[in-house]
Amino acid sequence: MDKSNLSRRGVLKSGALTSAGLAVPTIFTAQSAAAFTNEPTGGSVTLGFNVPQTGPYADEGADELRAYQLAVEHINGSGDGGMMNTFSSKALQGNGILGKEVKYVTGDTQTKSDAARASAKSMIEKDGAVMITGGSSSGVAIAVQGLCQEAGVIFMAGLTHSNDTTGKDKKANGFRHFFNAYMSGAALAPVLKSLYGDDRRAYHLTADYTWGWTQEESIKAATEALGWETVNTVKTPLAATDFSSYIAPVLNSGADVLVLNHYGGNMVNSLTNAVQFGLREKQVNGKNFEIVVPLYSRLMAKGAGENVKGIHGSTNWHWSLQDEGSQAFVRSFGTKYGFPPSQAAHTVYCQTLLYADAVERAGSFNPCAVAGALEGFEFDGLGNGKTLYRADDHQCFKDVLVVRGKENPTSEFDLLEVVEVTPAAQVTYGVDHPMFAGGALGSCNPGA
């Protein structure tokens, strides 16, 4: 009978060594998993698209979702590639992001801050989303941006125009491609001066929330710098539907310009009411009465119908632009869905490509590495000309379009015409501009 070589000390030694050996990869994996929130470990990566699927901006949300789906398709290598073909950065290869297939989950913001935060939280905690993007309201964008900062994921803002998003409420994990209220004012002012002169009296009706306030402040500052006088600024409830009682006082106010700081249903109704009261045919101070809608959207223009004809405003992008990038996107989107994309669709498509590209260039999904790749990034070919993602506030600086409601549209989509492409330099402001003061970017949070 053979004598066994096993001893108590030997078993303990071997057990300890084996345990240590088995633990090493676990420790590495554990360290690796804890490096940042929702680090993708398998063959796919999940993005969270948080858009209004119900509520007043559901149509914008639906268009955003279409654009997100198209972007995912292109990043994963399907379809015609869209703006990936015209994008100045060539990091994306059509094989997902860092070789991982892109998957997505969607949430419904309902255009309510609390609902938007809840759906974003669920996508981060339950679905493992490594990036959250979307929104069609500044209130929602600011709320979700704050949540993403705390959770340690990147937030790529959708349609948000308030100065505060990259002003006093800016966050290191948040990035905005869309333009802002200051830029609208800076782009519109010279056009308004050349059209209506520098001796005008303006009356503002303003939606009573963060976006309305900053837009009113921006347009007021820009027009007063022209020499215009501001007769009155009246806040209107976001829930208002009939603006006639706000329009009627304008008739006897001595104002000769009405500025409607309204968006969505508010804009459609206030503009319709203003036209009903004959403001466009009115003569005041020996001049034609004029209406200005600083933030335009084609979807809103459709709602306002004939009333938008000849009325000026600004927009982030329009499908009729003739540059290569815009044409590629319109062709891709139009072929898939049968109609041209909205500015909301364009900005979220760009944001998805920009995020994917930043991850590729950084070589990591770590939010801090991605933020580093986006900060100061200069690019072209995405429909807005040369663009800079400024490092100091995570705001994109690019050309801004001044548009006018088309007098003789040739189709149901042909509602706006581009009057001027305002160069980025004209809408660029200092980091310390007072309209953007009061907040700090802070440092990037990788979470976990």
Which residues in this chain contact other proteins in the complex, by CB under 8 A? 54-59, 208, 232, 234-237, 239, 241-242, 244-246, 248-249, 251-253, 265, 268-269, 272-273, 276-278, 281, 299-300, 302-307, 319-320, 330-331, 334-335, 339-340, 410-411, 413-414
Residue with tokens 């909205």: 342
* Nearer Cβ to other proteins (63/360): 63
* Nearer Cβ to other proteins (331/433): 331
* Nearer Cβ to other proteins (156/304): 304
Two tokens, residue 129: 């989303």
Query: Least distance (Å) from other proteins to the CB of residue 429?
Result: 29
Query: Least distance (Å) from other proteins to the CB of residue 73?
Result: 18
Judged by DSSP in three states, 81 sits in: coil
* Nearer Cβ to other proteins (320/366): 320
Residue with tokens 């981060």: 124
* Nearer Cβ to other proteins (92/260): 260
Query: Least distance (Å) from other proteins to the CB of residue 74?
Result: 18
Q: What are the C-alpha distances in Å from 229 to residues 82, 197, 257, 281?
A: 46, 12, 10, 21
Q: Helices in 340-391 by DSSP H: which ranges?
A: 343-362, 367-374
* Nearer Cβ to other proteins (45/116): 116
CB atoms within 10 A of CB 211: 27
Query: Least distance (Å) from other proteins to the CB of residue 111?
Result: 10
Task: Tell me whether residue 428 is exposed, middle or buried, using C-beta atoms within 10 angstroms of its C-beta: 0 to 12, 13 to 18, 19 or more.
Answer: middle
Query: Least distance (Å) from other proteins to the CB of residue 309?
Result: 12
Tell me the C-alpha distance between 443 and 150, whole Å: 11
Pairing assessment for the beta strands 174-176 and 154-157 based on DSSP bridges = parallel
Tell me the C-alpha distance between 96 and 75, whole Å: 5
Query: Least distance (Å) from other proteins to the CB of residue 198?
Result: 24
Q: Which amino acid is at 112?
A: K
